[in-house]
Amino acid sequence: MWSAGVLLVAALVGILNYFGMKYYQRLDWTSTRLYSLSEKTEGVLESLDQPLEVTLFLQPGSSLYDPAKELLERYAAKSKQVSLRVVDPERNLVEAQRLVDRYQIQSLNVVVIDDGTDRRVIEESQLADYDYSGLQFGQSPTLSAFKGEEAFTGAILELVERRKPKVVWLTGHGEAPLEELGPEGASKLRDLLGQENLTIEPWGSLGQTEVPPGTDLVVIAGPRIAFLPPELELFDRYLDGGGRMLVLLDPELAPGGGLVSTRLESWLGERGVRVGDDLVVDPSATVPFFGAETIFVRAVGSSPVVRALSQAGYPVILALARSVAVGEVPEGLVGQVLLETSADGWGERNLANLRGVEKDAGDLPGPVPVAVAIAPRPPEARELDQEELDEAGVEESAGDGAKAGTAPSWRLAVIGDSDFLRNGQLASVGNPTLASNAFNWLLERENLLGIGPKKPEQARLALTPGQLSAITWLSLLGLPALAVAAGVTLHFRRRR
């Protein structure tokens, strides 16, 4: 009888284990949903039609080993096309050397995603952001944001999408140099866009009659001299043909006062963007150890360009910015503000005397918009009344071209500063997210948008000296004494 009971319990445990292995649900108990896959990632995994081999090649001592392993296990659980292999480069030297030779990698802390014909190698540095503020006090860097999902999903998309969108970087007007490695260059942006499955190359518009064939996006980053009318006409033809443009206009001070005109200001006005002749000031949003011209701004509205910034609560750092607002939007389009200052900010229009900047009646009152997006009016926006559009931060054109089927298909994003994507500031807080999302939105690659970095939980136990002493004595004397007392009590009970 006793043997039958043991066999029955063993069978029950076996059945429970079998169904537990076959039908299980992964739960995420972290308060920041650190290991929960976004809808964007789930959509990418569900659409996979080719097998992917993911190799976790991180040292177990790395602070990113556990979160990366847990997240990749969820990728593999979500899609049968994804297989995960974990290799310890310290304990399995033979396998580690084989992977180094196969993938030609130099680091022992990487994640490799391979589809059999191509591969993507994700460095450990791409998986997280760290807070180094405690270094001056002898503290180690702390993990401030985990970017594993963004990096893994982006790498998978690079393998799935065989064609890389083509981006041309305008030159010849004093724009940010694409190849420059110094703080004023944009070489780091090129690396970032390479991770996002994009190719980018310089191009000069002077003397050209058309944008290079196959161009998906034109970028104008910080011009300092005026464009010629033929160049503006070239841009008109490109946009009217369904093109995409990202325009970053710095407030370039003229020697005689005021701002240097690039002729893009009036040209953008015809496209629904009002560029101000001012400098944006916000005393309540200055950045420590920087001048008053460097401020941080917040994301507003529901645009996919800034949605991830809003969710994470990350600001964008701008240096010497000018106001950019939604103007008279062309027929069939909508304009939306992306970034703005606090209510304490303003647009300083008295540029003749910048030593004693004060807010007065002639300045642009805050909140001051510094970035806008113009795009075709979505079908759902046609059902909203103007009050709802205002609440959403969207300005609708008065025309009815979209309903008539003649709405333009071009997209345009304008930001009153180019420094945020230069090497010197690209890594600051929300700047890389803004740059990446702006490019993806303009290229209509929203499947990557909204996958922002996640803040890891930092659980700490703080004990007073008295509490620590009590725990020590309880461990040394209390628990052993309790065990002895229990043994003595059990001994006398058995003698009875």
pLDDT digits (tens, 9 = 90+) for 280-328: 999 888 888 777 788 999 999 888 898 878 877 789 999 989 999 999 9
Distances in Å between the alpha carbon of 89 and those of 86, 114, 126, 169?
10, 18, 19, 41
Give the integer Cα–Cα distance in Å for 280 and 264. Answer: 19
Tell me whether domains 24-155 and 163-448 share a fold.
Answer: no
Q: Is the pLDDT of residue 407 over 60?
A: no
Q: State the amino acid at position 476 in one-letter form.
A: L
pLDDT at res. 233: 95
Give the integer Cα–Cα distance in Å for 322 and 214. Answer: 32
Say if CB 396 and CB 378 are below 8 A apart: no
Give the integer Cα–Cα distance in Å for 71 and 69. Answer: 5
**What are the extents of the domains in the chain?**
24-155, 163-448
- 74: Cα separation from own chain's centroid: 21
User: Which tens digit of pLDDT belongs to each residue from 23-37?
Assistant: 555 544 454 445 568
pLDDT at res. 62: 82
Mean pLDDT estimate for the chain: 80
Residue 452: φ, ψ to 5°: -95, 170
Residue 373 has a CB neighbour count (10 Å cut-off) of: 26
User: Which tens digit of pLDDT belongs to each residue from 234-261?
Assistant: 999 999 999 999 999 999 888 877 888 9
Give the integer Cα–Cα distance in Å for 407 and 376. Answer: 7
CATH architecture of structural domain 163-448: 3-Layer(aba) Sandwich (3.40)
> Per mean pLDDT, which range of 168-172, 276-280, 458-462 is the poorest?
458-462
CATH architecture of structural domain 24-155: 3-Layer(aba) Sandwich (3.40)
Give the integer Cα–Cα distance in Å for 306 and 119. Answer: 30
If one compares 35 and 410, the residue with the highest pLDDT of the two is 410
If one compares 113 and 14, the residue with the highest pLDDT of the two is 113
